[in-house]
Structure 1
Amino acid sequence: MAPRISTRVLLSSAAIGVGGGLIAGASGYLAAAFAVFGPLFYGLTVGSHFLPSVVSLALLKRPGTGILAGVIAGLVGAAFGPQWFWRYVGTGLLVGVLLEIPFLITRYKRWDAWLWYASGAFAGAILGIGVFFALGAEHYAWWAWVVALACWVASPVFFIWIGRLIARALERSGVARQSARENAG
């Protein structure tokens, strides 16, 4: 039988997702500008989609909270750019899944920093390669590949660092105190 998830954990994850969705909504327009004026740097904006999943998963340390926060962030972000509905929701879902994979493998018992950063770098590389091919990779020089891929990998890693800082600050303020007790029991 699957463990029960409290309403407090669900609502906390949803609230984090809403906050992340506001950032994702703004980031979508910045990404559109990069796509037009500097497509090699488009990947710099992808990390903002990692933020809600990282904060939720790092703060609550419960299976599925990263996915839930990512999808809710995608839904909220789509309210600001309905023309990109599936891009927002799909990215939120994909990022949540990719971030949770290493923790799923460890059965949510290990929360080492390297797992976060390896997951982010891997997810950024997967997303970057996919988008670069969609943009027509054959039209770019080798050095453009290097610059673009570096942006796609560095951005998630940076936002994971920021998200973990936010989660620690929230934890110190006592926001997740009750959730931590629920995890222990």
Structure 2
Amino acid sequence: MSNPHTNPITKPDDINPGATQPAAVDQTSPVTQRGWRVVDIVVAAVLGVAIGLVFWIWNSIGGALFGTLDAITPGVGGLVVGPWLLGGVLGGLIIRRPGAALLVELVAAIVSAAIGNQWGWSTVVSGLFQGLGAELVFLAFLYRRFTLPVAALAGAAAGAGAWLNEFIFFGNRAKSAVFNLTYLGCLLVSGAVLAGALGWALTRALAASGALNRFAAGREHRARV
């Protein structure tokens, strides 16, 4: 039996009919939830393998272009490195979880090395440095901003990671300052354009196709249209 002295439950609308109710929080947003979902892990793996195949194709094309440009002006070969930096940018833009940029670039490098390339398993170390460069940019923005400028910065940072790896492990520190500065500048430009801007455009295209409906990038696209 109910207590006759107990006041009925009052609804918020009864207290202030004109009050505006707070909008529901999207619990899947990278701002509110940083944990990895099963779909994030699966997509990271698939994305890493797919980009690893892109790397494998670009190994021959990009390797030849790199050699040609470097023969003309040492260091300018860095202008064609961008496609090898794409994994970190795409991983960060699509999955939007801590570690996604690093993981996707690393998986792609492992796939490229496993299939076979001219650099062997040193490719994995390169992937580690490149992925870490992109990851640090997304971290700097607390995994909350995924605009074109941020993507370009992530691509450029991946290029800086590639430069640092080769400076330490591939003997570039024994080369001239002019070479190293030229190479770094070309890597930054290539990373910003061929990894950053291209990765951003690819993410938007995938979102428009509906492939990213379970991700924030897909929700953002639906909100725009």
TM-score by length of 2: 0.66
SS in 2 for 1:50: helix
Alpha-carbon distance in 1 for matches of 2:95, 2:122: 26
Give the counterpart letter for 1:19 in structure 2.
Answer: A
For 1:179 and 1:109, how far apart are their aligned partners in 2? Answer: 14
Bigger helix fraction: 1
1:98 corresponds in structure 2 to 133
Offset at residue 79 of structure 1 (A) = 2.3
Q: Give the CA deviation at 1:174.
A: 1.6
Q: Is the 8 A contact 1:31 1:42 kept in 2?
A: no
Question: Counterpart in 2 of 1:178?
Answer: 214
Higher mean alpha-carbon deviation, 56-65 vs 120-129, is at 120-129
* Aligned residue in 1 for 2:46: 15
Structure of larger gyration radius: 2
Q: Report how many aligned residue pairs link the two structures.
A: 178
- Unaligned segments of structure 1, at least 5 residues: none
1:96-130 per-position Cα deviation (integer Å, ceiling 9, x unaligned): 21111122133212223323323333442453366
Please give the TM-score of this superposition, normalised by the length of structure 1: 0.78
Kindly indicate whether residue 202 of structure 2 is the aligned counterpart of residue 166 of structure 1. Answer: yes
Give a deviation string over 1:25-76, Cα, whole Å, max 9, x none.
2333345445654433332332112212212221222222211211110111
42-51 vs 67-76, greater mean Cα deviation? 42-51
Decide which moves more: 64-73 or 34-43: 34-43
Q: How many percent identity over aligned positions?
A: 28
1:80 matched residue in structure 2: 115
In the superposition, relative to structure 1, how do residues 82 and 124 fare at CA in structure 2: closer, same or farther (>3 Å)? Answer: closer
| Aligned twin of 1:43 | 78
Structure 2 residue ranges without an equivalent (≥5): 1-32, 220-225
Aligned match of 2:59: 28
Do the aligned partners of residues 123 and 70 (structure 1) sit closer, same or farther apart at CA in structure 2, a change above 3 Å counting? closer
AA partner of residue 140 (structure 2):
I
The residue type equivalent to 1:128 in the other structure is: W
Name the structure, 1 or 2, with higher relative contact order (CA <8 Å, separation 6+). Answer: 1
Task: Report what 1:137 is aligned to.
Answer: 175
Over aligned residues, Cα RMSD in angstroms? 2.9
Q: Give the distance between the partners of 2:66 and 2:144, measured in 1 at CA.
A: 39
Q: Distance in 2 between matches of 1:34 and 1:132?
A: 21
- Displacement of 1:83: 5.8
Tell which deviates more after alignment, 20-29 or 8-17. 20-29
Deviations 1:115-165 (A, max 9, x none): 332333344245336636824423x8x4x5554333212211112111111
Distance 1:130 1:76 in 2: 19
User: 1:32 and 1:165, CA in 2 relative to 1: closer, same or farther beyond 3 A?
Assistant: closer
